[in-house]
Structure 1
Amino acid sequence: MDLGWFVLSVFLFIEILLVTLVCMPMPSNEVRGAVNGWVASLWLYQPVQYAAIGMLAVDVFYLCFVWQALSNPLYDMGFFSHEMGVSCEYKQDLYLAERNAYISASILFLFFVLRRLVDIQDKLHMARSQVKAIQGGGGAGGDALLMDGSHKKPLAVEADDKKAK
């Protein structure tokens, strides 16, 4: 593996780590907000932006380079026999090109997935914060917000209210 593919692999592992971190279940909404805020704040740094855009540009170049190597897989599909000169080295080169294509395509895919996940997690964090604010902290004694906008007390509180009357 040459240096370019090694750097792209490291970039892929960083993306996998960030996507996994954003997708993990969080114990509370505050933790979700902190993790999502940290991941989103990484994009605010100019060096991170330049590095990510540069890596994506290199990745697209490498993907185009690998695409050419994979554009003629007729030997593996059986259209040409092995007696026609298909060597093990040629098959190894096709395997390496396929592996590198997976690396390149995964980097592009995970970049867009990560951007969308950060947006979705941010909206989820804000929505849960709004629900907690409406419910007065979201404790067990708080009213439940119904779909029509009205509030309903939990069953235990309703039973206590009936006993008191």
Structure 2
Amino acid sequence: MSGSERTLSLKDMLAGSGCTPRTVRFYEREGLLRATRTRGGHRAFSPEELDRLNFIVALREAGWSLEEIAELLAVRGTAASDREACRRIDQTLHARLGELERKLDLLTRLRSDLEGTRKALAVCSECTQESPDRARCLGCTRLPEPAELPRGFRLTWRIDG
């Protein structure tokens, strides 16, 4: 990094990522982020490191382990050739994309179930304001049959007595 190139402080990294100082320091210790030191001993990051940090955070939120992230980020430097690096990165990403698709499908179904649960609970909320008697739920005609209700509703708001 040349002297004229803008650097980011730890505070800039935190503001740009939403991470805690502890997280940034940890990723630096683990070799996932690189920082130089100012004359005063403060961390100075290149702007690319903020992009790298946000990529790491996204991968972590998607379920990647630190080891998997470190391995992915190090592939080009450890591969025997760029061709080998391309093959290894592509292979890793292909597998992970399949996992993400399965998670997205699951999350989409779960979101739909939870939205349906909230709608059913809104109906129940009206009834509980009118009367706190749970026995009313057994004869409820305002909701569909139990088998037609979202799983989240059936499991959190038992209406079988």
User: TM-score, normalising length from structure 1?
Assistant: 0.28
Q: When the two structures are superposed, what TM-score results if normalisation uses the length of structure 2?
A: 0.28
Greater fraction helix: 1
